[in-house]
Amino acid sequence: MGFPEGYCVAVTGAASGIGRATALLLAGQGVRVACLDHADASETAASAGGGAATHPLDIADAAACRAILGHVIADFGRLDGLVNCAGVVGPTNIRSEELNPADFEAVCRVNLFGALHVSQAVLPHMRGRGFGRILHVASIAGKEGNAGMAAYSASKAGLIGLVKSMGKEYAETGVTVNALAPAVIRTPMVAAMPEAQVTYMTDRIPMKRCGELDEAARMIAWIVGPDCSFTTGFTFDLSGGRAVY
């Protein structure tokens, strides 16, 4: 696996977790990285070094996505890849009948609408160049559903459907659009969840362990690299055997 000289990738959710691990791995392989996050991603950019940049971004804001990613493209002169790791869990360990619709909507605004916003911000540029790699981090919950996490599961299922549609729409343009469906990965977001919810999810993994951040980052780096050229609209699993289809 390798990246051509000058390769540029924007990473959302870069302040922590999978986004941070991915940004650092890509930078270590010579990729110019834009670290985007609603939180402060300056530490990630500083650790990445080189040509790394950082910008605040709320992906639930469509106008902000167009403005910030437009700035990244202008600054770098090109954008080869987009890794969308931004996401929220929302309510957990709660039955659907008790779920507040406002909470459901808030989760979808980030996990689903946000994915659409950042994709729309970069697709015209990538299509115009005849090359691009878009990767959205979904979840195994989007394929199988997690009890007590209806908002999160539904938003990630919608994201997988969005990726399938976009992958087919742009299949002849040189732009690929894929998703990654991790099971439980050791991230700050998971650490903040109730222990009972984490145990419920981990017990369903045949390997009986969480995935590690570097495992996710390595897979993402390949998917958004030039070598992943004949797969689009697909959801890659990273589930320790939980999903085998």
Catalytic one among 152, 170, 200, 245? 152
What is d(CA 52, CA 231) in angstroms, rounded to the nearest whole number? 28
Length of the chain: 245
Q: Is residue 217 helix, strand or coil?
A: helix
Active site residue 7: no
Q: What's the CA dihedral at 232, 120, 68, 188 to 10 degrees?
A: -50
H-type alpha helices, the chain:
17-28, 42-48, 62-76, 101-108, 114-129, 141-144, 150-169, 188-191, 195-202, 213-223
Catalytic residue set: 152
